[in-house]
């Protein structure tokens, strides 16, 4: 930082002193976020005064956490070599743990955390995520997603806590508090409430589609979690890909500037989503109130030149640029980045430690929901002869969903994780048979645990009926056949559904003796085994209304608790336990 700025000033005074020294090019640099490995050269960090870097899908910074930190140290030194020595943010989509790093603790996705109804657990999980993110070199997390989904066809349902405004509001506040710490205390990184606003309530569940809720409904149903996040001190809010009544949210000045920054008094950073500058009207994005733009995949030079020309021509007011840079600098001072710009090496030995995994396993136990338990099929007896059926039963990638190591998730095992089969084998007192694809000739067993579900996906790739058109509201024919085969054998069956949303499985629920909604559980598959054997009770409650048929989705939305025109198979909040 410039030697001319005194260290005994308030954050606001430091910001103003620094802002007064900055050129237009330095200000635009602070408003720029890039993906280093693909978008820019090393020299651009210094020459274009880059303010932040995002790490996402693509080459990793190194082979281990030491190398990750070393890479970010190298890049930070470039930022510090500039005239004003303003340090950079390093951001990551750590949406259910530090999920870009193999070996980190991976929690259930937010839909599972919503099923726990446990705000303290959500806070603890977020705090662990913050530690492991910092341990790998990051100081800005793009989480929590506080969308409110109204249609299970949306490919991001699992990123959100619940269809309930009240549940989402409570857990949004807990998540921000966990990531950043208690309001008013020194924090080490900033969290991001996303995606502002209406992303989960688009018509027909289309990712990036149009949300036609009235303004009154938006304020009543969708805004409260953002108000709670702002009150908890969230450092940033990410704009959404969707439109609100045909106006792209990235260009929605009323909602971003008048409502979020004005009415809610949000004083943090509004950050764009991926490649928003070229996608949503270029300078309209800046004028709407977006402070930091992800200038990625070819947008970088166009963005830097476009904003510069916009200011020089008067299209973008200088006051709008200064407002953006004030917000950015404030958050950098807030997390002590000027005094401590480098990662903390002492945190590396905390990545994936047992204490963290114990909390993740607790989250699994509390998140899974018992939908059926006929004739006390559950809990399983530890001396029973058990067959575990289906590849999802022995694959940590499949059980974890999208945003796990890779953007679209994994279809194979990854470091540090425990599968459901491994968890069952650890607790069972009899040899456990494994039938990966249903082809084994298994008959001499007491119970079959059939694990079925959705192959991992993220964003529009998971939209049902979307441009990818890979996913469906029902089980795949192969998974339906697994259930058919084992129920036809006359063996007691427990179906465990691993998914990012409620699916239409009415037939399979009828066929099975017991049925468990497990969501995408993350790295700790043993948590499921602990509940199936009765070491712990089922306490999870549905965070969404559960559909009974595909016909439930002929309109804009599926069944949900505030629209009583569609009767669900199970209502919001349903969940059985061993004690009743």
DSSP output for 276-310: HHHHTTTHHHHHHT--EEE--TT-HHHHHHHHHHH
Residues 122 and 75 placed together within one structural domain of the fold = yes
Whether the per-residue pLDDT at 4 is higher than 60: the answer is: no
Whether the per-residue pLDDT at 6 is higher than 80: the answer is: no
Q: Does the residue 5 lie in any domain?
A: no
Q: Residue 567: which residues within 8 A CB-CB, separation 6 or more?
A: 548, 559
Residues 151 and 39 placed together within one structural domain of the fold = yes
Residues 124 and 15 placed together within one structural domain of the fold = yes
Confidence of residue 504 (pLDDT cuts 50, 70, 90): very high
Q: How confident is the model over 37-54, as pLDDT tens digits? A: 667 788 889 999 999 999
Residues 378 and 314 placed together within one structural domain of the fold = no
Confidence of residue 328 (pLDDT cuts 50, 70, 90): very high
Residues 307 and 343 placed together within one structural domain of the fold = yes
Higher pLDDT, 8 or 435: 435
Its domain, for residue 455, covers 368-553
CATH classification at residue 547: 3.40.50.1700
The candidate with the shortest Cα–Cα distance to 273, out of 178, 193, 190, is 193
Residues 323 and 433 placed together within one structural domain of the fold = no
Residues 100 and 198 placed together within one structural domain of the fold = yes
Confidence of residue 7 (pLDDT cuts 50, 70, 90): low
Proportion of the chain in helix, strand, coil states, percent, rounded to 5: 40, 15, 45
What is the CB neighbour count within 10 angstroms for residue 578? 15
CATH classification at residue 279: 3.20.20.300
Q: Does the residue 572 lie in any domain?
A: no
Confidence of residue 5 (pLDDT cuts 50, 70, 90): low
**Structural domain ending residue among the three candidates 348, 382, 416:** 348
Q: Does the residue 189 lie in any domain?
A: yes
Nearest-angstrom CA–CA distance, 97 and 62:
19
Q: Does the residue 566 lie in any domain?
A: no
Q: Does the residue 1 lie in any domain?
A: no
Confidence of residue 501 (pLDDT cuts 50, 70, 90): very high
Q: Does the residue 24 lie in any domain?
A: no
Q: How confident is the model over 232-279, as pLDDT tens digits? A: 999 999 999 999 999 999 999 999 999 999 999 999 999 999 999 999
Q: Does the residue 361 lie in any domain?
A: no
Cβ atoms 454, 503 nearer than 8 A: yes
Q: Does the residue 435 lie in any domain?
A: yes
Whether the per-residue pLDDT at 169 is higher than 90: the answer is: yes
What is the CB neighbour count within 10 angstroms for residue 121? 21
Q: Which pTM value belongs to this model?
A: 0.96
pLDDT for position 37: 67
Concerning whether 459 is annotated as a catalytic residue, the answer is yes
Beta bridge partners of 141: 92
Residues 315 and 423 placed together within one structural domain of the fold = no
Domain count, the chain: 2
Residues 338 and 385 placed together within one structural domain of the fold = no
Query: Could you tell me how many residues make up the chain?
Result: 580
**Active-site residue identified among 93, 299, 422, 459:** 459
Residues 271 and 384 placed together within one structural domain of the fold = no
**Active-site residue identified among 132, 170, 273, 282:** 273
Residues 339 and 379 placed together within one structural domain of the fold = no
- For the chain, count helices (H), then strands (E): 21, 17
Q: Which two tokens stand for residue 294?
A: 């992800």
Whether the per-residue pLDDT at 1 is higher than 50: the answer is: no
Residues 524 and 455 placed together within one structural domain of the fold = yes
pLDDT for position 3: 44
Concerning whether 182 is annotated as a catalytic residue, the answer is no
Q: Name the average pLDDT for the chain.
A: 95
Q: How confident is the model over 335-347, as pLDDT tens digits? A: 999 999 999 999 9
């Amino acid at each position: 930082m410039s030697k001319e700025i005194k260290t005994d000033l308030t954050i606001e005074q430091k910001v103003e002193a620094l802002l007064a020294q900055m050129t237009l090019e330095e200000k635009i640099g602070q408003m720029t976020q890039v993906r280093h490995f693909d978008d820019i050269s090393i020299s651009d960090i210094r020459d274009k005064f880059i303010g932040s870097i995002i790490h996402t899908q693509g080459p990793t910074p190194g082979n281990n956490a030491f190398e990750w930190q070393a890479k970010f140290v190298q890049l930070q030194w470039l930022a510090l070599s500039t005239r004003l020595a303003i340090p950079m943010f390093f951001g990551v989509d750590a949406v259910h743990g530090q999920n870009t790093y193999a070996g980190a603790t991976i929690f259930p996705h937010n839909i599972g955390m919503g099923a726990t109804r446990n705000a303290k657990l959500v806070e603890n999980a977020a705090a662990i995520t913050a530690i492991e993110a910092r341990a790998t070199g990051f100081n800005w997390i793009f989480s929590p997603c506080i969308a409110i989904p109204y249609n299970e066809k949306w490919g991001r349902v699992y990123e959100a806590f619940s269809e309930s405004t009240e549940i989402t509001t409570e857990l949004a506040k807990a998540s921000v508090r966990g990531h950043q710490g208690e309001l008013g205390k020194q924090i080490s990184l900033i969290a991001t409430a996303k995606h502002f606003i209406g992303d989960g309530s688009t018509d027909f569940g289309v990712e990036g589609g149009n949300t036609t809720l009235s303004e009154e409904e938006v304020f009543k149903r969708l805004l409260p979690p953002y108000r709670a996040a702002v009150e908890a001190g969230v450092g940033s809010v990410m704009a959404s890909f969707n439109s609100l009544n045909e106006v792209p949210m990235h260009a929605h000045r009323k909602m971003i500037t008048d409502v979020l920054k004005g009415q809610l008094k949000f004083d943090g950073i509004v950050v764009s989503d991926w490649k928003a500058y070229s996608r949503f009207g270029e300078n309209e994005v800046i004028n709407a109130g977006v402070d930091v733009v992800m200038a990625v995949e070819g947008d970088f030079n166009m963005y830097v030149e476009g904003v510069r020309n916009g200011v020089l021509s008067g299209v973008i007011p200088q006051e709008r640029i200064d407002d953006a840079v004030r917000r950015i600098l404030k958050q950098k001072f807030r997390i002590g980045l000027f005094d401590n710009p480098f990662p903390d090496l002492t945190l590396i030995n905390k990545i994936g430690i047992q204490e963290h995994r114990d909390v993740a396993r607790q989250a699994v136990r509390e998140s899974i929901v018992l939908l059926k338990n006929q004739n006390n099929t559950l809990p399983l007896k530890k001396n029973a002869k058990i067959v575990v059926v289906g590849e999802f039963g022995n694959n940590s990638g499949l059980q974890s969903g999208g945003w796990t190591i890779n953007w679209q998730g994994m279809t194979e095992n990854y470091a540090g994780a425990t599968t459901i089969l491994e968890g069952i084998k650890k607790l069972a007192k009899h040899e456990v048979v494994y039938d990966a694809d249903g082809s084994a000739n298994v008959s001499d067993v007491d119970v079959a645990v059939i694990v079925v579900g959705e192959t991992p996906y993220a964003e529009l790739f998971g939209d049902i009926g979307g441009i990818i058109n890979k996913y469906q509201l029902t089980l795949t024919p192969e998974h339906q056949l697994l259930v058919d085969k084992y129920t036809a054998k006359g063996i007691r069956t427990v179906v465990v559904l691993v998914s990012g949303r409620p699916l239409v499985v009415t037939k399979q629920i009828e066929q099975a003796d017991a049925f468990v909604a497990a969501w995408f559980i993350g790295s700790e598959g043993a948590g499921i085994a602990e509940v199936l054997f009765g070491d712990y009770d089922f306490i999870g409650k549905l965070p969404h209304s559960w559909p009974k048929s595909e016909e439930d989705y002929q309109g804009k939305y599926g069944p949900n608790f505030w629209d009583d025109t569609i009767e669900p198979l199970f209502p919001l909040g349903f969940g059985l336990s061993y004690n009743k």
